[in-house]
Amino acid sequence: MADRANVRSIDTIADFRSRLTTYLHTARTALSEANSDVMRVQRWVDETKKHEWSMRHKKSRQKLANARSDLERAKISRPDAHPSMFVDQQRAVARAKQELELCEDKLGRIQRWSRELDRESMMFKGHTNRLDRMLEGDMSRASAWLAKLVQHLEDYAATAPPKLPEPQDGTEETTSHRRARPANPQGDTDEPSVDTDETPENHA
């Protein structure tokens, strides 16, 4: 493990966190919109279209019942008439049957697609839940950690360096004095020696 961090640029870390935050926001928005789209399609099939075709099915059944009643009344009113005389009533019954069959087919398709959408929706949510956990878990914690790291580094960079202790009084003077007068290994001094035997009084 290194003894110190090799941080070359605090701005680079801050820029990376900014990009990570943008990605988190974009991914969350896209995930929310995708879930909304799935729910909207399910509601459109399960509620809107089912209600629409259920109402049409009900009206078609009533229309078929009325067309049959009209045909029966026409036959009763003219019992000796040829069947070709009731073509209009028969056509009305046929159209009502076709409309009723169309409604029943649509309701069957809606039921089938509703089950299919439920199955696909569960699979979709199973995949997106993993992405959602990653966004709200690891990546959110990474963004918060990077924010603290940038703050710590900025605080460290703004901290003044420690001051060295001041030298004690007389230390520099004593040291310079000692350096100016190095010790003589032979014990000699700069003063000339005086030989008492060679003084003028002794020669006289």
Q: Quick check: 31 and 150 in contact, CB under 8 A?
A: no
Total number of residues shown for the chain: 204
pTM over 0.85: no
| Per-residue b or e along 46-72, where b marks 16 or more CB atoms closer than 10 Å to that residue's CB | beebbeebeebbeebeebbeebeebbe
pLDDT, position 196:
45
Q: Which of 135, 133, 137 has its CA nearest to residue 28?
A: 135
Residues 6+ apart with CB under 8 A from 56: 99, 103, 106
Distance CA 149, CA 79 (A): 98
Q: With 60 as the cut, is the pLDDT of residue 144 above it? A: yes
Q: Quick check: 20 and 146 in contact, CB under 8 A?
A: yes
What does the DSSP assignment read for 4-44? S-----HHHHHHHHHHHHHHHHHHHHHHHHHHHHHHHHHHI
User: What mean pLDDT value characterizes the chain?
Assistant: 81
Average pLDDT of span 32-55:
93
Q: Which of 53, 62, 49 has its CA nearest to residue 96?
A: 62
Domain boundaries, the chain: 10-158
Task: Work out the burial of residue 119: count CB atoms within 10 Å of its CB; fewer than 13 is exposed, 13-18 middle, 19 or more buried.
Answer: exposed
pLDDT per position as a tens digit, 92-140: 999 999 999 999 999 999 999 999 999 999 999 888 888 888 888 888 8
In sign, the C-alpha dihedral spanning 85, 90, 95, 98 is negative
pLDDT confidence tier of residue 76, bands split at 50, 70 and 90: confident
Q: Which residue has the tokens 């020669």?
A: 203
Q: Which residue has the tokens 């941080």?
A: 7
pLDDT confidence tier of residue 4, bands split at 50, 70 and 90: low
Q: With 80 as the cut, is the pLDDT of residue 182 above it? A: no
